[in-house]
Structure 1
Amino acid sequence: MTLSPASTATGPQAAGQRRLLTLLFVDLSGSTAMAEWMEAEHYATMLAALRDLYERIVPHHGGVIARIQGDGMLAVFGHPEVREDDGRRATEAALELHAAVRGLRPPGPLPADFPGLTLHSGIHAGIVLVGEGDQMRGRFELLGNAPNIAARLSEAAKRDEIIASEESLGLQAQFFETGARFSLQLRGRATPLAAYRVLGRAAVSRRYEASMRRGLAPFVGRGDELATLSAAMADTLSGQTRWLGVRAGAGVGKTRLTEEFLRHVVDQAEQPCHIHRGYCESYLSAEPLQPFLQMLRAMDGMTDAPPELVDAQASAAPQRADALLDLLLALARRMPQLVFVDDLQWADDASLRLLHRLRTTAERQGLPLLLLTASRPQPGGTGLGAHDDHAQLLITLPPLTDCESAHAVQQLLPQGDPFIAAEVRRHAGGNPLFIEELCHAAADAGASLVAGQSSAAWLAALVESRMGRLPPEQARLVRLAAVIGTVIPVWLLEALSGCGEQHPDVRALAGQDFIFPDQSPGLLRFKHGITRDVVYEATGLHERQALHRRISTELRARGGAELHEQLAYHAAAANDWPAAGLHAEAAGDQALAASALDRAKKQFRAALAALEFLPDGDDAGRGRRRRWISVAQRLGMACVFDASQDDLRVLRHAAQLAQADGDAGLIARTEYWLAYVGYALGETRDSLRHARAAVEQAQQCGDHALLAQLPGTVGQLQAAAADYAQAIPMLDLAIQRQRPRASKNAVNRIGLSFSLCCRAYVLGDQGRFSDAHEVFAEALEPFDGSGHAVEASIQGWRAAVLLWQGRWADARQAAAVAHRVGAQVRSMFTCAMGHAAGAYGAWMAAADPLARQHILDATAWLAPRGGGLYSSFQHGWLADILSTQADNAAARHHIARALKRGRQHDWIGGAMAYRAAARLAAQAGDTVQARRYLSLARGAGEQRNSDHETAVTALLEAELQLDSAWPAALALALAEFERMGMTGFLQRAHRLQQP
């Protein structure tokens, strides 16, 4: 018989408490078949024995049985109190249940082929609404998707198999022997679930050992703290007694710091020192004197043992503390001793008393003893309950600085998207554990946003267990602050709670590493974004919405145009869609005016989402659709420097709505933005079609403002298609029209500068480098040093032209600006192109071995956005590098990718790709193919009227020396390099002349 997941299915919102639970779903394997051949009385006896096991084993591991139905059982871990090791407890319970059931023998006669009794189990964790149960629903009514997933995992498990989801175990999976991580597509779930088959317990007892088993993250920072510990060790070696405590919140790295220090003591000590390790734990019922008994067991078999060791091993429990004290003091009389106790916050009273006695007695006797303890801060601890307050020196370990966090992320995600890396740092708040887990999540999810990866249940349990230890008033403040947001205005918190920045509870939360004063006056901030997200998610829906409504009321009363963004967020969270749409639009317009394009995109998308909830009747519907189109057009304006396929889909929908409306003006402008965003994504051919449609509709409705903008857009598209004969007149016309208007507003200045930029790179491609740099200077002048997105774009193109010219150092400098400014304004295109251009400059200047990987990284960053604008550049650069390195397979791949871009009229990297193919053919001894590819390279250059490409192709012909005509090719290249000032290539050509 199976416990039906329907009993825990998601239902209407009911009275209950929102809790983070780990759920263990257990069923007896093959029970239906057994019920057919067993006598009913025997079957009932077997079920009773099974239920006895459930009722004995589950509570022993800290779980609560929610329901038993037939032979199936659903147990919850984390109610009434969430513990950070609930996933581990559930898995331990499942292993013990499976072993116990294997030992049961059903009553009565058994078939000859009876395989024995076994269970199959599933473990999953998530947010569940917990309500009162009844006879039908069990002890609790559990509403949410997590119970269903646990049931599906149990269904997927085979006989005697336990399947646990990765997000319920996380790092705790290392406490167990598991099969390989695998993805499971569960019925009723849209995306696959990562899971493990749990095979048994591993020989791991500490979290640090679990981390070692998975692979330690890089050790970053902590130089001052290591120096302090080393000084204390030096004092001990000179004959003194010291007690140092290291205190930090969960995951901040206290154990890692102490282990690094202990390793240093072993490796660097100039005189012998005996190290003893012990730890305390909250799991199940730890024995009294646990850390000291661990030390004692580690000494078993110790050579030249003092008599006190025998006494300590033989002592009865009441006298054991005295014997352990005598043993450690005796050892300290023989040589310096270092006693390390980890997780002191979970120490029993006997261990704490022994620690204090050891310190005071050793001090009195003048013994060389270093006591080192690591603990978490405890809310409201006093006396012995404060654990390490009596340490002579307490090292309070802060989170990593932003610089240290960046270093850690770089090591964990060496090829990571820089925006994802920034999100990791922001969300982790300097907590090394959070950094590590978010980096693992980002690596697994590719370029998915990290915000969605921070809710792994085992990490959420860590946060919720910390919340559970807070006094009720402080916990209430944290939940209120979480609804306000990651950044909390002090005035708003005080208005809602009566607690200002100096209130004792607010200050206590700073000490507990929850909320601390922001750098900007009048603001508080969550230390870790993960904490805020977990606390918010665990707050009940009705409570959240009520708080969002109160916050909206306070914000409106406060007034001020700068509050639109906050009002939009809180209105949407309260399902006040009319207000949400209005405020999001206003916030988007403000961000667009301030050139904060990423924020503008976010707000315009929020406005579009809110509009979907508004009435769709006849008159109201037409107004809503027109408003939707208007917002979508502004979204187009915001996304031109960092477009994605999602943006393009929004504008395509806007174009459909405009066509249905029939207004030529609406159609013209949606077609215009479709053209521009398509251009930003490299879809040049389709964009030219939309641009022509925009011209036609603008002429029809007399939209002269749009007609004035369109020559620049059409010229840019034709330039991207390498149709310079058509592009140059259009760009010149656009520049002529834009110059008089550039002084009127920022939009006109941006339009003029970008038209000038396009004109400059066309000049550069034609080998007119002096003219190109003059035009670049005019384009850049209004924005040089401004940090504006257009500055990044112009500098990116300057870098490309400087690479064409062979000015490697100048190109790298311009590329660095494009990369830096692109990152600041969150324009992935300019950020990635700057990164790639700088890397290619480094390759050309000094054959930098890292260049290849840097360009591959930049290409990977852009891939999820679906963009291809000028991506033939990157593939051409890679083809050039790889063919030079004779990496034939990889070079051919990027040659094909560069040439494939020609289908969208992106030929900017075509000549380079053909040259790489010629080099590969020559390396293989195929001179016929090599000549053919050189001919194609010349044709690709001539198609763009590109003198620099012709000259570089002639240089390669001379380098390959395929026939006796190579000296003439070299002479041509030398003359052209001299004429165009192509310095780097000129040096390369001169080297060919040398004997």
Structure 2
Amino acid sequence: MEGTRVNARLKLERAIAVIDSQRTLLGDSVADVTLTALRAKRELMGEETAVLPEDRVTQRKQLTILFAKVDGFTEATQTLPNTRMLNIINLLWQRLDRAITDQGGMVDKHMGDGVMGLFGVPVAGEDDPQRAVRAALNLRTALADFIAEIHMDLEDEVANMPEATAVLAALDALSLRVGINTGPVLLGEIGTGDEYTVIGDPVNVASRLENRAPKGGILISHESYQLVHDTFEMDSLGLMQIRGKPDPIQVYLVQNERSCVFSDQSWGVEGVETSMVGRDKELLVLQNSLQNIVRQGKGEVITIVGEAGIGKSRLKYEFEKWMDTLDLDVLVLKGRTEPSMRQVPYSLIRNLFMTYFAIQDNDPAPVVKEKLFQQMWRHFPDDAPERVSCRGRSLAQLLGLDLEEGFSLWEQPKTREATLGDIILLLRKALAGNQAGVVILEDVHWADEGSLDLIENFVELCRDVPLLILCISRPELLERRAHWARATAVNSDPRLLKEGVPQRVVHLEMLTVEESSQLVENILRKLPDIPPALSDLIIHRSAGNPFYVEELVKVLIEDGVIVTEGDAWRVLKKQLTDVRIPATLTGVLQSRLDRLSSLERVTLQRSAVIGRVFWDTPVILMNHAASQTAVHAPETVTALKALEKRDLIFQRSASVFAGSNAFLFKHEMLREVAYDSVLLRMRPAYHKQVADWLVQESGERVAEYSGLIAEHYEKAHQKIPAAQMYEMAGNRAIEFSNPELSLSHFQKVLELIADEPHQNGWRITIMQQVAALLRMQARLVETAVAYDNMRQLAEADGELSAQAIALTSLSGVLLDQMQYEQALAAADKAEKIAWLVGDDLLLANALLNKSWANHRLGHPRRAQQQAQQALTLSEQLKDNTLQVNSLRNLIMLAIDLGKQAHVAFYLNRLQDLINHLDQEKVELMTIGLGFITLGEINNRLGRYGKVARPSFLAIRIFKKLDRQELAAQALFNLGRSGCLRGDYEQAIPFYREAMAIAITLGDRFQEMFYRMELGAAFVGLKQYEQAEIEIVQVIRLADNNSRFVQWRGIAQAFHYATLALLGQGRLIEALAAAKRTYSKAILLRDERMLGVAWYGLGLVSAQLAPKNLPIIIRDKSCMPGDCFAESIRYLRRANGDSTGAFREQALTMAAWAAYEMKQQKSRRSQILASEAKALAEEIGLTL
């Protein structure tokens, strides 16, 4: 049995090793899932050795050997009672062993305070050395975590256990030393003790390296270095003499794992300005484009795409230089962004206009207002003052600029399209008087979604304005905006460009060998003769990246291989073979940083903490505060100048913070490498200093930078300040209609305060906001989870009212997903809790949800009773808004049940309520909601002529109240009215405007309804392909199980899809869609929708060839007439004598009549057609 278990474990180990070695073939996703399962199984099998006696033949193979020792551990354990020492020893070795085995290593043996690990057994992998070094880094982290945990355990015991102080001191003295080497060893049994281990010189070298490693250090040999140098950051310690080796060996100190990213290019070396190489064709594209724009008076969009360092910025630079030589008046506007600014809505466009208007980020609100309106008056001199003011406020709203405290940015609510109209007009005015304009947008791949949307809208200008929009980006942009990648010389994608506006994507490729050789010759032109070995080395290592070529030359100059004294350079050929050339771009940059002076290096590191754009003031403060010997401001300024001279940073012409000079890292990758070199233990303090400085400098405009400040506080481990800033940023994002960004910020708040029990009240509030935002984004599955999490926390915290709110909201989400039983259960719990706490408002809302759930579950009497109870409570509370909602429920129930008298009674009560409400602002909201309800009800009743007045009144009210989302609902009612009476042309503008508002607000949930009905209008106009485009977008979203269990509008969407497909003659697809309509209608438990579904089945089956009839619906054979008959039966049963079903009945009868005429049953056809006409005339429907 034991042999079987060991053999099984061996096979498992082999399987794990083989799977891990085949990651490239299998892919990370498959490999990770498989390895997780196999390793879990291995844990259950115990710790038996994976090597069987019969497999223990002596063999010679290459392994990577790791030795690690914890210095000071024995002394630390001696300070504790013996009963606790064993537990601590076990805890530590469990952590350290796991750090080795998690990387695929095998723990060979323990030796007192040390451990030996082997990488490459039982099955060798190509990345064994990388795993060994990664395990060493994990060992260091594991020890630090261990010390911190024991510290926490013992700190409370200091008062009661005198030796605890000594223990804590001993723990602080612990340090780890690691040595790693790679080479051929003998693997097999040693001696007579059946001990299986490895022997050989590589083992001895690894052990000696561990002995010579500094405290906390990881030393590796040159043999290991050659295999891992492109993965980890290391410092060369030169030659080191170790015991047992006749000659010194080259060793390296591992710092950390490299980040696999690239940097942008440079184009100057030691005062030699290099010429652009290999980009003439792309430059000609830009030049011809601008010349054509000037000649034709129409614009174009060009996106330059390429990897970091490939030459995008150099191409832009050469294009700008060429433009300067033209005898043309060309207005050039520039904007750029950086990774950290993704937290700022519309940051790229914000940067564009703030640069154009000369607005600094720390300008007080009055100064911002003055600069902004100076520009507005300059561009709109003939406009009335109030109109200019409105335009200025619209622009400020877009840019996220606070004009003054307590000042509303919107006098009248505007959709994003309306605001964009102002922006486009402003750009048009700015371009007036110039022969052409060029908007250059850099680093677009880091732009926020709002900025990308605006760029797409700017294209409108190119239709009739001589404007070139030049976007510069890495390939990641095309992953986010795939339709940009499909752009060609002539636009064919309406999602990006307007019709007739050309757009091109220009991809920059790696330089060829010939072009790289030309660049090397260009850079090294001061050398009388370039040694072929030097040229070949640079070309081979650069791999066609021009920035890499130039940076390699800089490293060679700094290493003294190339001597640049005087006008003529020279090469020390003897040193050429000895120079360590980094194999990655990260290595090139790290090598340069390592050669900086101590002050220059720390200044660059602390600058990197701030961001690619940074300011000298916080760097001066960090340098002064962090150094044991104070570094005064002049010294930091000198260091910054030296860094600028070394071509690592450059000073910007203007600073957004008055009193501080702004600088920019030459490349983002350079900043990342510099930041990675900052000690982990120092980073929190630096980030806190930056955050505090940003708070102080931004002053009254702190909300504009709250997202950025929050990130710094988070990295400073200041959880509460970070959470407060993220909450501020989240609320600000809501103000600027960016729910996705707001959600991200609020989720950060929850992460930061998750372990703060005394913040549960705050957590509950944020959870409610998160749930509401998830619903707006049509992520109802997650919304339900969020509300349930809120309920659980409220329950644990004893917050009864919060529980009732969560349960009521949860029931509403479940109703939207047709989960009626669950919705009823949640609303029932909410009702009981609301009654318990005596909150009648919560109680009434719970009753309304119960009413609707019972209605769908086929319990009409209960539904009516509960809706009536809610109405009674609303009257007792004198809550007019609640009365409107209660009356709406009662009217809708009565319509569905065909109770005309009840409809008339409650409709009169609703009208009386609206008429008696105060017209002051406090009551306007309720009046507006009442008008929306009247419009909705009249549509349901087929009284289409009575929809317009209340809807337009509602729109007027909600514009006054700046509630665009409610105005959109009134617009939707107007569109629906037009559609229902057959006036599709009139309906489309209303639907489009409602949808535009929803998109602007980021409300995807409402957008789905508006887009679906827009598709229906296109069906009515027989624009079937356009209808399909709109409807398919809705279905794809609604049919996504990660978003919805079942969307309540899905049946209607499939019905419209049926009509769109049928109109295109795609009968098989139409039949499938009709069947989906039927199945979804059954889940909806809505008899009217079942009638509509049968109508669709009848329409499709009537077009099928006789050989394809009958169709089978739920095991029942149905001819077209059967389908139409079922439709009429359900529609009559759903609405009784109500006119609310007349439209559907009229359409069904008309279609049925046409089918019967086709079957040559003229008498039957005439009867049906007559009935259809009578129904249509009663509601004003055009058939």
TM-score by length of 1: 0.50
Give the counterpart of 2:1151 among 956, 964, 989.
956
1:277–1:339 Cα contact (<8 Å) kept: yes
Shift of 1:916: 2.5
Q: Deviation per CA, 1:945-976, whole angstroms, max 9, x where unpaired?
A: 33333443344346554234357766776787
Q: What is residue 732 of structure 1 aligned with on the other side?
A: 907
In 1: Cα distance, 2:873 partner to 2:994 partner: 40
2:1150–2:1169 Cα contact (<8 Å) kept: yes
Shift of 1:74: 4.6
1:816–1:838 Cα contact (<8 Å) kept: yes
Shift of 1:878: 1.4
2:995–2:1010 Cα contact (<8 Å) kept: yes
Change (3 A) 1:890 1:382: same
Shift of 1:832: 0.9
Q: What is residue 807 of structure 1 aligned with on the other side?
A: 983
Change (3 A) 1:386 1:360: farther
SS in 2 for 1:896: helix
TM alignment of 1:367-516, pairs within 5 A: 389=647, 467-469=675-677, 475-476=683-684, 479-480=687-688, 493-494=691-692, 502=697
Q: Deviation per CA, 1:725-751, whole angstroms, max 9, x where unpaired?
A: 366235414404532553388796555
Q: Deviation per CA, 1:314-369, whole angstroms, max 9, x where unpaired?
A: 44x5x989x999xx9xxxxxxxxx9933596687522789999899999xxxxxxx
In 2: Cα distance, 1:956 partner to 1:123 partner: 76
TM alignment of 1:233-248, pairs within 5 A: none
In 2: Cα distance, 1:615 partner to 1:767 partner: 46
Change (3 A) 1:978 1:855: same
Query: Which amino acid is 1:773 matched to?
Result: A
Q: Deviation per CA, 1:715-773, whole angstroms, max 9, x where unpaired?
A: 25416746463662354144045325533887965555445544434433454321233
Give the counterpart of 2:1013 among 822, 833, 837.
837
Give the counterpart of 2:829 among 644, 656, 677.
656
Shift of 1:703: 4.8
1:784–1:791 Cα contact (<8 Å) kept: yes
842-851 vs 809-818, which deviates more?
Answer: 842-851
In 2: Cα distance, 1:818 partner to 1:549 partner: 35
Give the counterpart of 1:350 among 556, 565, 575.
556
Give the counterpart of 2:1126 among 910, 915, 936.
936
In 2: Cα distance, 1:764 partner to 1:693 partner: 25
1:231 is the counterpart of 2:308? no
Change (3 A) 1:33 1:956: same
Q: Deviation per CA, 1:94-142, whole angstroms, max 9, x where unpaired?
A: 999514989xxxxxxxxxxxxxxx99x99999997762669x999879x
Q: What is residue 270 of structure 1 aligned with on the other side?
A: none
Q: What is the RMSD of the two structures over their aligned residues, measured on CA atoms?
A: 7.4
Q: What is residue 849 of structure 1 aligned with on the other side?
A: 1025
Change (3 A) 1:360 1:664: same
1:628 is the counterpart of 2:628? no
Change (3 A) 1:575 1:939: same
Query: Which amino acid is 2:1086 matched to?
Result: D
Change (3 A) 1:355 1:649: farther
1:771 is the counterpart of 2:975? no
2:1061–2:1069 Cα contact (<8 Å) kept: yes
In 2: Cα distance, 1:127 partner to 1:828 partner: 47
Give the counterpart of 2:1054 among 850, 869, 875.
875
> Which ranges of structure 2 fall in alignment gaps of 5 or more residues?
1-5, 14-31, 69-92, 106-118, 151-173, 178-229, 232-259, 265-300, 306-311, 327-334, 340-442, 447-470, 477-484, 490-507, 570-584, 594-603, 608-638, 657-666, 730-744, 1111-1118
Q: Deviation per CA, 1:146-177, whole angstroms, max 9, x where unpaired?
A: xxxxxxxxxxxxxxxxxxxxxxxxxxxxx99x
Change (3 A) 1:732 1:972: closer
1:98 is the counterpart of 2:120? no
In 2: Cα distance, 1:235 partner to 1:356 partner: 37
Q: What is residue 573 of structure 1 aligned with on the other side?
A: 753
In 1: Cα distance, 2:138 partner to 2:851 partner: 42
2:709–2:722 Cα contact (<8 Å) kept: no
1:226–1:257 Cα contact (<8 Å) kept: no
Change (3 A) 1:751 1:525: closer
Q: What is residue 131 of structure 1 aligned with on the other side?
A: 144
1:879–1:892 Cα contact (<8 Å) kept: yes
1:910–1:940 Cα contact (<8 Å) kept: yes
Change (3 A) 1:748 1:914: farther
Alignment length (residue pairs): 678
Q: What is residue 676 of structure 1 aligned with on the other side?
A: 849
Name the % identity: 9
Shift of 1:676: 3.5
SS in 2 for 1:675: helix
In 2: Cα distance, 1:312 partner to 1:889 partner: 71
1:711–1:731 Cα contact (<8 Å) kept: no
Q: What is residue 516 of structure 2 aligned with on the other side?
A: 295
In 1: Cα distance, 2:794 partner to 2:1046 partner: 32
1:734–1:755 Cα contact (<8 Å) kept: no
SS in 1 for 2:705: strand
2:720–2:752 Cα contact (<8 Å) kept: no
1:892 is the counterpart of 2:1067? no
Q: What is residue 513 of structure 1 aligned with on the other side?
A: none
Shift of 1:834: 0.7
Shift of 1:664: 9.9
1:859 is the counterpart of 2:1035? yes
Query: Which amino acid is 2:1098 matched to?
Result: A
Shift of 1:547: 5.4
Q: What is residue 524 of structure 1 aligned with on the other side?
A: 705
In 2: Cα distance, 1:726 partner to 1:579 partner: 53
Q: Deviation per CA, 1:648-672, whole angstroms, max 9, x where unpaired?
A: 9799457326537864965894464
Return the index of the structure with the highest Cα Rg.
2
1:835–1:854 Cα contact (<8 Å) kept: yes
Query: Which amino acid is 1:935 matched to?
Result: A
Query: Which amino acid is 2:1147 matched to?
Result: V
2:804–2:829 Cα contact (<8 Å) kept: no
TM alignment of 1:33-112, pairs within 5 A: 35-37=51-53, 52-53=64-65, 73-74=101-102, 98-99=125-126
In 1: Cα distance, 2:138 partner to 2:699 partner: 33
Change (3 A) 1:745 1:720: farther
Q: Deviation per CA, 1:231-270, whole angstroms, max 9, x where unpaired?
A: 37969999xxxxxxx998688659975999xx9xxx9xxx
SS in 1 for 2:1159: coil
Shift of 1:841: 1.7
Change (3 A) 1:549 1:862: closer
Query: Which amino acid is 2:1056 matched to?
Result: W
1:760–1:773 Cα contact (<8 Å) kept: yes
Shift of 1:932: 2.3
Q: Deviation per CA, 1:611-645, whole angstroms, max 9, x where unpaired?
A: 866897xxxx8xx35333454478589x7899678
1:577–1:611 Cα contact (<8 Å) kept: no
> Which ranges of structure 1 fall in alignment gaps of 5 or more residues?
6-21, 57-64, 78-91, 103-117, 142-174, 177-204, 210-218, 239-245, 268-274, 279-290, 301-307, 329-337, 363-372, 399-432, 435-460, 482-489, 503-516, 556-564, 986-995
Query: Which amino acid is 1:98 matched to?
Result: G
Change (3 A) 1:790 1:701: closer
Shift of 1:895: 2.5
In 2: Cα distance, 1:123 partner to 1:962 partner: 82
